[in-house]
Amino acid sequence: MKFERLGIDRATLLSLPLGLGSAIFLVQVALGTILFATFQEFVPNELGAGDAWAGYLLGAYGAARFVFETPSGAISDRIERKLGLLVGFASMLPAVTLMGLYQDYHAYLLFAAMLGVGTAFLWPAAYAISADLYGEASRGKVAGFLNLCQLLGFGTGALGGALVVERFPNVMFILAGATIGTAWVVVLAFIPTYRGGRLWGWIGVEQRPSVWSIMTARMAFLSILILASTTAVAMLVPAIRPYGEDVLDRSFATLTLALAPALVLGALFFIPAGHMADRIGRQAPFILGQFMVVLGLLTVAGTTSLLVAGLGAFLIFVGNVFSVPAWNAAIMDLAPDAYRGTLIGLTVALTGLGLAIGPAAGGMLTAEYGAPATFRIVAAISAGTGLAVLVYARIYGLGIPNAPPGRSRTQL
């Protein structure tokens, strides 16, 4: 009974999209290796770029995602969703290959953008698949599960990359390419072609209203909240290595290992957080998450202790864990069938914009004022976002699902 209340009983776990989650895990291993170890450590130290270049590269990656996620979502409305995933994964491989072959940090701006274009196909298709096959009252758990797979994969790649980046840097690119290729095979083998029964070709759709006719003030407000939350968290990334070296006096690898337990423990909350969003509404976990992020950031900014910093990192991470499934489920609820991929792509693109704005701004702030100041500024932004979510909840309600729990049409 206790497990059922948390949404982690056996029946619930078996109903989750396991095949889709496996593919996301694998491709996120590659992204964790590239976005964390390569951009944060390899490029600044091995290729001779400054600390700000980590932010520039993440900015190029995020900008490409922002530009291409809405078009890729629109394409996914007219083709088999599975094909969108296959195209995206195949598009990521050239970027990773070029990073391994041509190691010049100026060229990495182009390679980072190429990687962003490939990644742009991932989340619009993945969330559209989830919204297609799961009812409103199950989407929080599904979003939490997919986010868990994302985090476990990204964390595995980041940790593995941090351990090999200094001694065997080329191994990073080989592993990243191999995991992307494996993810492509998993999608081909285990994701069904449930829309038209065939992989290739356009999907016939009924007459649809204009996309602008379904763009509501509520969707716009939610999109702004997502952008603010994503930008704030992304601003932290360029500050991690300088914080470890300058404030905690720890190497990048040591800091990564020290923070790993906090991330692992935090990841355990993903499915329960999604279950909470299904039971008490989308807004309550979002609000809770933002204020946990604030508390964690102020804790990290005010300490020179690795142990206390680990506690603060745990609070930051758990706060983000509560926020993300809630807003993902809210987006799935608001996106109508005819434009599901398009609107999900548009809102997911805002996370790409946040990844473009946040790291660039965080890199400049860290270079100018230091990591603790960056943490305090991000805490202020997160507090403002939490208050704005309260206003959103006041206007539109808590977002409690009123549909019966959905069941997938087929095991993914």
Pull the structure tokens for residue 226: 């997502």
Residue 12 belongs to a domain: no
Residue 278 belongs to a domain: yes
Residue 28 belongs to a domain: yes
Residue 205 belongs to a domain: no
Domain that holds residue 186: 18-193+213-396
pLDDT score for 256: 76
**Amino acid (one-letter) located at 384:** G
Residue 288: count of CB within 10 angstroms of its CB = 19
pLDDT score for 372: 92
Sign (positive or negative) of CA dihedral 215, 76, 124, 196: positive
Pull the structure tokens for residue 40: 């944060």
Instruction: Measure the CA angle with vertex 376, ends 374 and 379; round to 5°.
Output: 110
Q: Supply the angle between the helices 283-301 and 306-334 in degrees, to the nearest 10.
A: 160
Distance between the two ends of the chain, CA-based, in angstroms?
26
C-alpha span between 252 and 240 (Å, rounded): 8
Q: Do the beta carbons of residue 143 and residue 344 sit within 8 Å?
A: no
Residue 375: count of CB within 10 angstroms of its CB = 26
C-alpha span between 145 and 42 (Å, rounded): 31
Residue 201 belongs to a domain: no
pLDDT score for 123: 86
Residue 402 belongs to a domain: no
> Which regions of the chain are under pLDDT 70?
1-15, 201, 204-214, 401-412
Q: Do the beta carbons of residue 35 and residue 119 sit within 8 Å?
A: no
Residue 410 belongs to a domain: no
Question: Coil, strand, or helix at residue 206?
Answer: coil
The count of domains in the chain is 1
At residue 403, what are phi and psi to the nearest 5 degrees? -90, 155
Q: Do the beta carbons of residue 366 and residue 246 sit within 8 Å?
A: no
Residue 1 belongs to a domain: no
pLDDT score for 58: 84
Q: Which residues of 182-200 are buried (b: 16+ CB within 10 A; e: fewer)?
A: bbbebbeebbbebbeeeee
Closest CA relative to residue 127, chosen from 353, 345, 355: 345
pLDDT score for 341: 83
Q: Do the beta carbons of residue 58 and residue 355 sit within 8 Å?
A: yes
| Token pair 């003030």: residue | 217
Instruction: Measure the CA angle with vertex 234, ends 297 and 333; round to 5°.
Output: 100
Question: Coil, strand, or helix at residue 115?
Answer: helix
Q: Do the beta carbons of residue 377 and residue 365 sit within 8 Å?
A: yes
Residue 71: count of CB within 10 angstroms of its CB = 16
pLDDT score for 355: 74
> CA neighbours within 13 Å on the CB side: how many for 220?
6
Residue 289: count of CB within 10 angstroms of its CB = 28
C-alpha span between 92 and 81 (Å, rounded): 17
| CATH value at residue 154 | 1.20.1250.20
pLDDT score for 404: 44
Pull the structure tokens for residue 249: 């006096």
Residue 74: count of CB within 10 angstroms of its CB = 17
Question: Coil, strand, or helix at residue 208?
Answer: coil
Residues making up the chain, counted from first to last? 412
Q: Do the beta carbons of residue 392 and residue 228 sit within 8 Å?
A: no
